[in-house]
Amino acid sequence: MIDELLNTMTLEEQVSLLAGADFWTTVPVERLGVPKIKVSDGPNGARGAGSLVGGVKAACFPVAIALGASWNPALVERMGVALAGQAKSKGASVLLAPTVNIHRSGLNGRNFECYSEDPLLTAELAVAYIQGVQSQGVAATIKHFAGNESEIERQTMSSDIDERSLREIYLLPFEKAVKTARVMAVMSSYNRLNGTYTSEHPWLLTEVLRQDWGFDGIVMSDWFGSHSTAETVNAGLDLEMPGPTRDRGEKLVQAVKDGQVAPETVREAARRILTLLGRVGAFEQAPDLSEHALDLPEDRALIRRLGAEGAVLLKNDGILPLTKTSLEQIAVIGPNAAEARVMGGGSAQINAHYRVSPLEGIRAALSNANSIRHAAGCRNNRLTRVFAGELTVEYFAGTLCQGMPVATERSEKGEFFWFDLPHAALKLDDFSVRVTATFRAEESGEHVFGMTNAGLARLYLDGELVVNGDDGWTRGENYFGTANTELRTPVMLEAGRTYRLTVDYLSPPPKEEGITITALRFGLEKPLGDQAIEDAVAEAAASDVAVLFVGRDGEWDTEGLDLPDMRLPGRQEELIERVTAANPNTVVVLQTGGPVEMPWLDKVRGVLQVWYPGQELGHAVADLLFGDAEPGGRLPQTFPKQLADNSAITGDPAIYPGQNGHVRYAEGVFVGYRHHDSRGVEPLFPFGFGLGYTRFAWSEARASAKDMGADGITVEVDVTNIGDRRGSDVVQLYVKPLSSAIERPEKELRAFAKLELGAGETGTARLTIKPRDLSYFDVEARAFRAEAGDYDVLIAASATDIRSRIAIRNPAVWLAAASDRSI
């Protein structure tokens, strides 16, 4: 069928398939019955074609680092199945997920969106996710291929990575996704790799991906991430996104006529697009692109369970779980207590069906609501609190907010991200908006108005200009680096008085290169001062236990910018110090997208890391605090004692954050625990670490053989739950070479198994390793090489907790060419 279509298509029709029609759909060929399909952002939900801050509601699942902390591929596969259903509810046939870039540093803004610092753990979870999604006839899109481990200058930065490190660390999740999960789509990254944009990198897209690994799906650009015509097509980039095309269309037709691109190259790219349409069933039944909300009880239950599975208990001196019946007063304190921080920021955002805050979850779990005392203590938001209230939004043709509005909408939130406009007469590069609202000040005193805008904007209060986001506009750090840094202005307000707020927004001119965004965000807040901390201290002092909800939110953990450091923002560390001084029975619940420094660790009795676990946040946290669920997580990323202990943070800007358009991965394969092990740097909490509410006894490990053969070696460990409640444990297998011709990490994770056991129950972890698990990548031989000699198999509960050691031997050198299709 596909050959018949290709034979019938004109060159122009084949070319039309190789770029999007708009932001989210492909181009149909109506003459031949070729339908269009829709793609949707993931990875912790399926947003559909809506704005990043609105649109049809969708189920909000835990972010990827929380899934990484679960160490539970089977459960992640179930999530993939559920996400496929969510994608279908948005009319989408392709889900733009999972994200599998490696946690190189603790500062990457998208650290939360990636699974782990370890390529094997990342790969196993990605494979499970993809298999779940694709089992339902929806294509998964693994991203970002490759070297996108930072958000700093990501659209132009060159990640300079040697081939050994690429093959062993950064490419392995993609390789497994292709060879094991048969992923249908790959998304190229924005950055350059060793000087060449990944979207036009023939070694990456053709030699490695297609020739070495046998990938037969499509490669698409990240949005606005292609930069050329002939170069991208010849390198192996099939689909330019979004549309309408900038570099294909007539330009590509002419490139074929001029001999810069062979007709066969276009035909094969078009073949791959048509093959994808066939794989998602688009030829059998043209997709219904309409969108609706799908809120299923089974999805709610799965999200709640995933939240517990990924929560990591970092410290517990016996205070947890809390006993409901013995608590007369519990203080629920912190900036994340009454706020439901359910996801990170950027393109992973969705309009969640609902959000349960920790305070709401605790209230629902306790029969006596009067036993709960609450205080925020301080704020941790990076941007001014977004305006909430009834807003009138008027759209005008042209950029002057003049004449009659073309369209009028209502909104309840002062944030707008326009992919589409509400009327055909409006164009994204030539429209304006007037947003108006009235509000009543609740308190007297100094308030702060803040605004950030991609485009030009001015905010007025009762007709007086308060924030000028027009004159002198310069690019800053918001909206993927397309908006200005937030401008803030203090204003004195009077309690009880009604004010009229107006914002005029003018769309930005189109850009020839890079991302063009039309977005606006404005907010209003009364700063919290010393009294807020005093109030929190008083509530803590009057309670039996204080639970402190601290961390960050999606304004910090977001696409488009990296973190400035690994400290808790705002006055949160001060808040912890003051609360623990008032009540030593303090538990800290952390919400971050990665590691944080903990100078306060010795002063608290418990620390629970819950990441951003989705819409059931509050219920999942209450389950964990009161023992209705087990914290089943283990760290997927090392928590260093201080930022300088990270392998990428050396003080040399060429290594991080980058210099002169290049960031050099000088640490090579020594990322995460590989660095801490091999360089003797003691972590705060090691990779793979996590406590639980029960205890386990492990038997000595036993191996099926002492010599490595083609079928590998299977290691078994019996694990017994010797506690009095159900729980889970993770058995980790690391391989340690006893000698090597090259420098290698002290040990590397090669297999793992998670066991869930009832009280008194015994289970057996079975872990298989094969010759490649002993290998490193030999660049000169262009092959994975396992040297002959002795190795130790280490059975561990974390990177620093070795429980058993088995000596094995590789009797002869083993080589597998880079083009070997097995893994």
Model pLDDT for residues 201-250, shown as the tens digit of each residue: 999 999 999 999 999 999 999 999 999 999 999 999 999 999 999 999 99
Write down the pLDDT at residue 367: 86
Write down the pLDDT at residue 513: 63
411: pLDDT strictly greater than 90:
yes
Q: What is the pTM of this model?
A: 0.96
- What is the band of 54 on the pLDDT scale with cuts at 50, 70, 90? confident
Query: Is pLDDT at 134 greater than 90 in this prediction?
Result: yes
| Domain membership of residue 134 as a residue range | 14-29+63-279
Question: Quick check: is 361 in a domain?
Answer: no
Question: How far is residue 265's CA from residue 238's CA, in Å, rounded to a whole number?
Answer: 10
Last residue of a domain, one of 504, 525, 546: 525
Asked whether the bond before 144 is cis by omega within 30 degrees of 0, the reply is yes
Picking from 279, 296, 326, the residue at the C-terminal end of a domain is 279
Closest of 213, 51, 189, 61 to residue 132, by C-alpha:
61
The confidence band for 325, taking pLDDT boundaries of 50, 70 and 90, is confident
* CA of residue 52 relative to chain centroid, distance: 15
Across residues 340-355, what is the average pLDDT? Answer: 95
pLDDT (average), residues 47-53: 83
How much is the pLDDT for 510?
Answer: 67
For residues 395 and 257, membership in a common domain is answered with no
Please determine, for residue 509, whether its predicted confidence score (pLDDT) is greater than 90. no
Classify residue 580: in a domain, yes or no: no
| Mean model confidence pLDDT for the chain | 96
We report the CATH number of the domain holding residue 93 as 3.20.20.300
| 274 & 392 share domain | no
What is the structure's pLDDT at 760?
97
Complete DSSP assignment for 353-415: S----HHHHHHHH-S-GGGEEEE--S---SSPPBPEEEEEEEEEESSS--SS-SEEEEEEESE
Rounded Cα gap, residues 518 and 507, in angstroms: 6
- Residue 455's domain is classified under what CATH number? 2.60.120.260
Last-in-domain residue among 485, 502, 525: 525
CA distance 354 to 614: 10
Task: Count the domains in the chain.
Answer: 3
For the stretch 102-121, pLDDT in tens is: 999 999 999 999 999 999 99
Q: Give DSSP secondary structure letters for 96-124.
A: E--B-----SS--TTGGGS--SSHHHHHH
Q: Give pLDDT tens digits for 639-673.
A: 999 999 999 999 999 999 999 999 999 999 999 99
| CA 296 – CA 325 distance, rounded (Å) | 32
As annotated, the active-site residues are 222
CATH code at position 811: 2.60.40.10
Is the pLDDT assigned to residue 437 strictly greater than 80? yes
Question: Does residue 512 carry a pLDDT above 60?
Answer: no
Residue 275: inside a domain:
yes
Q: Do 264 and 398 share a domain, yes or no?
A: no
pLDDT of residue 516: 78
Would you say residue 382 has pLDDT above 80? Answer: yes
